[in-house]
Chain A
C-alpha cells in the first residue's frame, strides 16, 4: 500500500487536483476543534490509559511518550479522515455507513485515549490536507482508508519493541493495533480484496530464520499473508508526510 502511488495516480487522473482542492477551510478547522473539545472523555478512558502512564512503580519512559505521540498523530489523521468522509454529502453509500461510522468511532476513541493519557505532553493536532477526490470519489476514499489502516497496523507493530519495558503502555498499543487490523480487513473486503495482505515485496518467505516456503509447502501468497510486517517510524512518517499541510 503505497500512498505516494495512490496520489500520483490521482494526480494523473486530475492534473489540477492540488490547485482546485481546498483542504480545510478555517471554519472546518474550528468546527472540528470544537467537536473534539466537546466530546466528553469518559472517566473510564481517562483511567485506563492514565493509569498506564501515571502508574505508581515506573513512570513512562521518554521513548514511550514519543511512541504515544507518534501514535496520536496517526490517530488524528485517521479520525479527521473518517469524520470528513462521513460529513461529505453523497460520499459514503448508505450500505457502508455502518461500517465507516464504526471505524470512525474507534479512531475518535483512540485520539481521546492518547490525548488524555499524554495530557499536557500531547502533541497538537496537525493541519491535514487530503488530495482532490478523497472526499468526492468513494473509490479513492476507500483506497485511502485501506492505506491508512494497513499503515496503522504496520506503524504500531513497528513500535512494539520500543515499548517492551513499558508493559501497560505496550499492552494498550497492542489493543489498538489489533483493532486497526480489524478495520484494515473490513476495508479491504469492501474493496473486493482479501482481508489479508499478499505483499509481494516480501520475497524471502523467511521468518526468524525459518524458511516457511520449504517448511510448509503453502502458496507464496499464503505465506505472505500469514505474517504482517512492521514499518519503521521513518517509513511511516514518509507515508504520512503528504497529508501534513
Chain B
C-alpha cells in the first residue's frame, strides 16, 4: 500500500486536538448549516412522548451529514456487539465468541474513527440504544439481529456512496463497507453454515449479483427502532 493510500483524506494540524476534516471554508459552510439546522430542530416535537424522549438529533447536511449518518449506524452496531460480548448467549462456542469479539472491536474502531473525524461542532451526540426487542441470551435472536444490522449497514453505505462529494470520504466509506460485508457473510454463515446464505438470494439479487443500495430515508426508520434518540435525516443530501 502506498503512502498516498494510507494518508488520503484528513490531516491533523499542529496544536489541534481534533483532526481537521474539512478545509476552513468548508468547515465554515457546515458550521453555518448546523446553525440553520438548529432552527429546524427547535421546531421538531415528538408528539407521542414529549417528556421522556431526548430531543431529536439532526444528522446535518452535505458530506458531514453523511459522516454523521455512518457514525450513527456504527454507534448502534458497536453498542450491540458490546452487549453481545458482555452477556454472551446460551451455548456460545469459543469460535463464535472470538468471531463476535472481532466484530465488536471493528465496530468500536469504526465508531471511534467517525467520532474523531467529524468536527466536534457538527458531530451528533452519543446515541442511546434501544435493544428491548433483542433477547441477548438467545443465539437466534442475537445472530438474527447481527445479520439484520450488517446487511443494513452494507446497503446503507452502498446507498450513501453516491451522496458523497469528497472523493476522500468516498474511499473511506469504501474501506468500511467491505468490512461490514465480510461481517454479514460470516454471521450468515454462522446461522446456516456452508449454505448459499453468506450471499443469499434473499439479499444479493440472483440475476444481477448486486447487494442492495438503500437511501438514508429508507435506512433511518429501521435504525430508529434500535435507538432511543430520535434521528432526523431531513437535511441529508438526496442526490
User: In the complex where A167-B162, A177-B174, A178-B154 touch, is A209 in contact with B19 (Cβ < 8 A)?
Assistant: yes
Q: Which residues of B contact A185 (CB under 8 A)?
A: 181-186, 189, 198
> Does any Cβ of B come within 8 Å of A212's Cβ?
yes
Q: How large is the interface on B (under 10, 10 to 19, 20 to 34, 35 or more residues)?
A: 35 or more
Tell me if B54 is interfacial: C-beta within 8 Å of chain A: no
**Contact residues of A between 165 and 179, Cβ < 8 Å to B:** 167-168, 170-172, 174-179
Interface of A is mostly: helix
Contact B175 A109 (CB under 8 A): no
**B1 on interface, CB distance cutoff 8 Å:** yes
User: Are B170 and A42 neighbours in the complex by a CB distance under 8 Å?
Assistant: no
In contact, B185 and A161 (Cβ under 8 angstroms) = no
Chain B at the A interface: SS class = helix
Q: Is B213 interfacial (CB-CB < 8 Å)?
A: yes
Which of A113, A186, A210 interacts with B208 by CB under 8 Å?
A113
Q: Which of B106, B171, B209 has the most CB of A within 10 A?
A: B209
Residue of A nearest to B103 (CB): A196
Inter-chain CA distance A79–B108, complex, in Å, is 36
**Among the listed B1, B105, B172, B212, which residue makes an inter-chain contact with A208, where contact means beta carbons less than 8 Å apart?**
B172
Q: Does A215 contact B (CB under 8 A)?
A: yes
Complexed CA–CA distance, A179 and B161 (Å): 15
CB distance from A47 to the nearest CB of B (A): 10
Task: List B residues at the A interface (Cβ < 8 Å).
Answer: 1-2, 5-12, 19, 21, 99, 102, 105-106, 108-110, 112-113, 116-117, 154, 157-159, 161-162, 164-165, 167-168, 170-172, 174-186, 189, 194-196, 198-200, 204, 206-213, 239
